[in-house]
Chains A and B, each alone.
Chain A
Amino acid sequence: MSTIAHLAAQLSGGDAERMVPRTGITANLTMFAAGAMAFLCVFALALLFSTSRVAERWASELANTATVRISAPAGQEEAQVAAVLAVLEQTPGISSARAMSDDEQALLLAPWLGPDLPLADLPVPRLVEITEASGGFDAEGLRLRLRAEAPGAVLDDHTRWRAPLIEAADRLRSLGWLAILLIAASMAAMVTLAATAALAANGQVIEVLRLAGARDAFVVRAFTRRFTLRAFTGAMVGAVFAMAAVAVMPNPGAAASFFSGLGFRGGEWFAPLFVPFAAAIVAFLSTRLAATRRLRSIR
Chain B
Amino acid sequence: MNPRQRWGKQAETKRGSRVIELSNVSYSYGDRRLFSEISLALPAGSFHFLTGPSGSGKTTLLKLLYLELRPQAGQIALFGQDAAGLSRDQVALARQRIGIVHQDCRFLDHLSVADNIALPLTVAGRNVAAERGNMNELMSWVGLGAQATSTPPQLSGGERQRAALARAVILSPDVVLADEPTGNVDWEMSTRLLSLLVELNRMGKTVLIATHDLHLIRQAKAQVSARVLRIREGKLQLAGSDL
Chain A interface residues (CB < 8 Å from chain B): 15, 18-19, 21-22, 204-205, 207-216, 218, 295, 299
Q: List residues 104-121 of chain B with CB under 8 A from any CB of chain A.
A: 106-111, 115, 119-120
Question: Which B positions have Cβ atoms within 8 angstroms of A?
Answer: 66-68, 70, 88-89, 91-93, 95-96, 98, 100, 102, 106-111, 115, 119-120, 122-125, 128, 167, 171
Q: Decide if A216 touches B95 in the complex (CB within 8 Å).
A: no
Partner of A205, one of B66, B108, B167: B108
Which of B92, B100, B102, B115 contacts A214 (CB under 8 A)? B92
* Contact between chains at B95 and A212 (CB < 8 Å): yes
A-B contact list, 19 entries, CB within 8 Å: A15-B128, A19-B122, A22-B110, A204-B106, A207-B68, A208-B106, A211-B95, A211-B102, A212-B95, A212-B123, A212-B167, A213-B93, A213-B120, A213-B171, A215-B123, A218-B123, A218-B125, A299-B67, A299-B91
Complex contact A212–B119 (CB within 8 A): yes
Asked if A214 meets B110 with Cβ closer than 8 Å, knowing A299-B67, A299-B70, A299-B91, the reply is: no
Having A19-B111, A212-B123, one finds 6 other A-B pairs with CB under 8 Å, namely: A21-B110, A209-B119, A211-B95, A213-B93, A214-B123, A299-B70
> Which residues of B lie under 8 Å from residue A299 when comparing CB positions?
67-68, 70, 88, 91
Partner of B92, one of A15, A205, A215: A215
Let me know if A215 and B122 touch, CB within 8 A.
no
Distance (whole angstroms) from the CB of B81 to the closest CB of chain A: 16
A207 to chain B, nearest CB (A): 8
Shortest CB distance A29–B (Å): 20
- Nearest Cβ distance between residue B167 and chain A, in whole angstroms? 8
Residues of A within 8 A of B96 (CB): 213
Known interface pairs A19-B111, A299-B70. Does A215 touch B88 (Cβ–Cβ under 8 Å)? Answer: yes
B226 → chain A, closest Cβ, in Å?
25
B233 CB to nearest chain A CB (Å): 28
Chain A hits for B128, CB < 8 A: 15
- A213 interface neighbour in B68, B108, B111, B123, Cβ under 8 Å: B123
Least CB distance, A21 to chain B, in whole angstroms = 4
Shortest C-beta distance, B110 to chain A (Å), equals 4
Interface hub of A15, A212, A295 (most chain B Cβ within 10 A): A212
A213 CB to nearest chain B CB (Å): 4
CB-defined contacts of B106 to chain A, threshold 8 Å: 204, 207-208, 211
Contact A213 to B95, CB < 8 A, known contacts A19-B111, A205-B108, A218-B123: yes
Bound CA span A246–B199, Å: 71
Contacts of A216 in B (CB 8 A): 88-89, 92
Q: A210 CA to B88 CA in the complex, in Å?
A: 10
Compute how far the CA of A204 lies from the CA of B106 in the bound complex, rounded to whole angstroms: 8
Task: Name A205's closest neighbour in chain B (CB-CB).
Answer: B108
CA distance A216 to B122 in the complex (A): 14
Residue ID in chain A nearest B109 by CB atoms: A21
Cβ–Cβ < 8 Å partners of A295 in chain B = 88
Residues in B neighbouring A209, C-beta threshold 8 A: 119, 123
Q: Nearest Cβ distance between residue B143 and chain A, in whole angstroms?
A: 22
A57, B23: Cα distance in complex, Å:
79
Bound Cα distance A209, B91 (Å)? 12
- A211 near B68 with CB under 8 A, answer yes
Which A residue sits closest to B88, measured CB to CB? A216
Q: B123 → chain A, closest Cβ, in Å?
A: 4
Measured CA separation A125–B134 after assembly (Å): 101
Give chain B residues whose Cβ lies under 8 Å from the Cβ of A211.
Answer: 66, 68, 95, 100, 102, 106
Q: Taking CB as reference atom, which chain B residue is nearest A219?
A: B123
CB of B176 to closest CB in A, whole Å: 14
Determine the chain B residues whose CB is within 8 A of the CB of A208 once the complex forms: 106-108, 119
B93: min CB distance to chain A, Å: 7
Instruction: List residues of chain A with CB within 8 A of the CB of B91.
Output: 299
10 cross-chain pairs, A with B, having the tightest CB-CB distances, nearest first: A213-B96, A214-B123, A21-B110, A213-B95, A215-B92, A212-B119, A212-B120, A208-B106, A212-B123, A215-B89
B66, B70, B109, B110: residue with the most chain A Cβ atoms closer than 10 Å: B110
Cα distance A19–B111 when bound, in Å? 7
Q: A208-B106, A211-B100 are in contact. Are A18 and B111 (CB under 8 A)?
A: yes
